[in-house]
């Protein structure tokens, strides 16, 4: 019996892609949103319009990539980025893919990169059993060893394509608008490529804020609406010399863009930058709307685009750097910030880096920071009058309507104070290793109806972990909601105890996941269930996190 897909209106449709019937003509380009296996799985199972699942670019070895900032808003719906090919390495990514299930009507296009033919082949061989096809990244514009550097050497590109093609699966070549497109495509055709992805980002380019390069890498690739016309020109050029399938990427945000790319010769369509700021539910709604727009000649998807993302940097001065312990300090800045409880900001020191921090106090903006690695050590050196740039705030703010238990461990304490300040009927439960790591206890006592403290050395409060007495505290206080923030082990232990007394839908938790862009594009903060913490959270219901 012939298998068919259904569109969102329930009609049978068939979109063929290398012998497979896929559920839709769209993909999300490599390196955007679907960068972790758990997010790939969620998108695969919840968005039928996306028939091709393109992974982040995977190398032979793991790579941490560039230090933040890795992205900046270039113009509305346009960005400049230099992530640095962050990836876990082929072996580890393969293990992650083993843990997910992808529907049969999806095509997993694994993007791969390397510095030589042997590395490309090595990655492809390690991921062969997981991939339906490979996309060769010979076009990343901001790496000194990979991408565009490889793409300039046509003989090397020819060897890479031929070698990966010999493995027996479809091979797409992602081309650069910064190189000779016709020559690259001719090379791909002669070497046996199955299709072309056009285009990668434009660049490298420099982006400044107050004369400082924003990206730590200094230069990056431009994506989004700013390269729409360039992308259309390139796709038209590709189509003029080949009938191979083309996946078009570059500035697509509304149905009219899709139509223009289709007219230029594209068969499938990658949408990336337009998804900035959208949580998972909004991405689902957006793709549904886009398909209806194409069918009906309307433009509903445009209203879902997020053109204002709080990406602009605001200059602050340091009023005080209060050392609380050898590895913990408070930075009080010279102005307030408008924020909701539980939201976070990104703090940037030009040339040093950028990291996210919970807003501890809003008037004036105050950050609780633990020295961990290079950047937080640099922040610890700031003195009165020094400059710090802030963007944001980001994230959601859980709405509670009843007696609420606020549970904070370590620097997770910083995320719960504003909940206490702005909500009545709150009970604070705070834990740390010693009293020096429990800051501003007086403020918490004033804001909370009750306050429970725990220290591992028993110096103040009860001796032990913050989670040790949660059960009895919930029973004693009759709490109806819980809000947790702290290290993953602490939060999971808290949820296990809280769930015995409280509906998981009334338990919100924020775990200290790696957060880099803050607007949902890089996908680095993916949870085990495929949510992106920075945009779907950071506080997620325990029933969905």
314-325 sheet: strands from edge to edge: 353-358, 344-349, 387-394, 314-325, 328-333, 365-370, 361-362
DSSP state of 225: G
- With tokens 């992974």, the residue in question is 55
DSSP state of 493: H
> Among candidates 145, 154, 148, which has minimal Cα distance to 177?
148
Cα distance between residue 376 and residue 353, in whole Å: 9
Q: ∠ at Cα 162 (157, 167), nearest 5°?
A: 130
Q: Are 143 and 60 in contact (CB under 8 A)?
A: no
Q: Are 163 and 121 in contact (CB under 8 A)?
A: yes
Cα distance between residue 17 and residue 108, in whole Å: 11
Assigned token pair, 434: 């010693």
User: Which ranges constitute the DSSP H helices of 405-469?
Assistant: 417-422, 441-447
For the beta carbon of residue 364, count every other beta carbon within 10 angstroms: 14
3-state secondary structure of 52: strand
Cα distance between residue 428 and residue 403, in whole Å: 11
Cα distance between residue 426 and residue 404, in whole Å: 5
Cα distance between residue 240 and residue 373, in whole Å: 51
Dihedral of CA 9/12/15/19: which sign?
positive
CA–CA distance from 59 to each of 56, 64, 84, 173, 516 (Å)? 10, 11, 12, 16, 20
Beta strands 107-112; 78-81: pairing state: unpaired
Active-site residues: which are they?
140
- With tokens 């090919």, the residue in question is 85
Assigned token pair, 366: 């105050």
For the beta carbon of residue 315, count every other beta carbon within 10 angstroms: 12
């Amino acid at each position: 019996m012939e298998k068919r897909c259904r569109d969102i209106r329930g009609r049978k449709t068939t979109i063929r892609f290398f012998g497979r019937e896929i559920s839709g003509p769209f993909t999300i380009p490599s390196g955007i949103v679907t960068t972790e296996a758990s997010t790939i799985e969620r998108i695969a199972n919840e968005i039928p319009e996306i028939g091709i699942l393109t992974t982040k670019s995977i190398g032979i070895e793991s790579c941490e990539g560039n230090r933040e900032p890795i992205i900046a808003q270039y113009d509305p719906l346009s960005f400049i980025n230099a992530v640095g090919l962050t990836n876990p390495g082929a072996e580890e990514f393969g293990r992650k893919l083993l843990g997910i299930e992808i529907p049969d009507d999806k095509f997993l296009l694994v993007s791969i990169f390397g510095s030589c033919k042997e590395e490309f082949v090595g990655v492809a061989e390690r991921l062969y059993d997981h991939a339906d096809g490979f996309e060769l990244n010979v076009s990343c514009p901001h790496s000194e060893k990979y991408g565009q550097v490889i793409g300039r050497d046509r003989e090397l590109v020819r060897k890479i394509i031929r070698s990966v093609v010999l493995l027996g699966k479809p091979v797409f070549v992602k081309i650069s608008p910064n190189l000779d497109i016709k020559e690259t495509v001719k090379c791909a055709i002669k070497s046996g490529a199955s299709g072309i992805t056009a285009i990668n980002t434009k660049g490298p380019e420099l982006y400044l804020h107050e004369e400082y390069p924003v990206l730590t890498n200094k230069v990056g690739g431009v994506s989004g609406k700013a390269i729409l016309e360039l992308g259309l020109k390139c796709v038209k050029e590709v189509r003029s010399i080949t009938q191979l399938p083309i996946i078009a990427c570059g500035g697509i945000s509304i149905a009219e863009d899709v139509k223009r790319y289709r007219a230029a010769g594209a068969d499938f369509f990658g949408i990336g930058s337009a998804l900035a700021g959208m949580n998972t539910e909004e991405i689902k709604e957006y793709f549904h709307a886009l398909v209806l727009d194409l069918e009906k000649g309307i433009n509903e998807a445009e209203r879902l685009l997020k053109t204002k993302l709080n990406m602009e940097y605001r200059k602050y001065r340091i009023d005080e750097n209060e050392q609380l312990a050898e590895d913990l300090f408070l930075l009080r800045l010279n102005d307030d910030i408008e924020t909701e409880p539980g939201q976070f900001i990104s703090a940037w020191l030009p040339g040093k880096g950028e990291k996210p921090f919970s807003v501890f106090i809003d008037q004036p903006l105050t950050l609780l920071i633990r020295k961990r690695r290079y950047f937080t050590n640099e922040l610890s050196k700031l003195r009165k009058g020094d400059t710090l740039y802030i963007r944001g705030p980001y994230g959601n703010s859980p709405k509670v309507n009843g007696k609420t238990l606020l549970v904070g461990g370590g620097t997770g304490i910083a995320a719960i104070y504003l909940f206490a300040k702005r909500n009545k009927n709150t009970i604070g439960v705070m834990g740390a290793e010693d009293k020096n790591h429990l800051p501003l206890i007086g403020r918490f006592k004033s804001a909370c109806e009750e306050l429970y403290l725990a220290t591992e050395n028993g110096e103040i409060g009860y001796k032990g972990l913050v989670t040790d007495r949660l059960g009895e505290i919930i029973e004693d206080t009759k709490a109806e909601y819980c809000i947790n923030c702290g290290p993953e082990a602490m939060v999971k232990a808290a949820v296990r105890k809280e769930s015995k007394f409280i509906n998981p839908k009334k338990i919100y938790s924020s775990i200290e996941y790696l957060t880099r862009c803050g607007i949902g594009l890089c996908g680095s903060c993916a949870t085990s269930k495929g949510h992106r913490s920075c945009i779907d959270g950071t506080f997620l219901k325990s029933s969905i996190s």
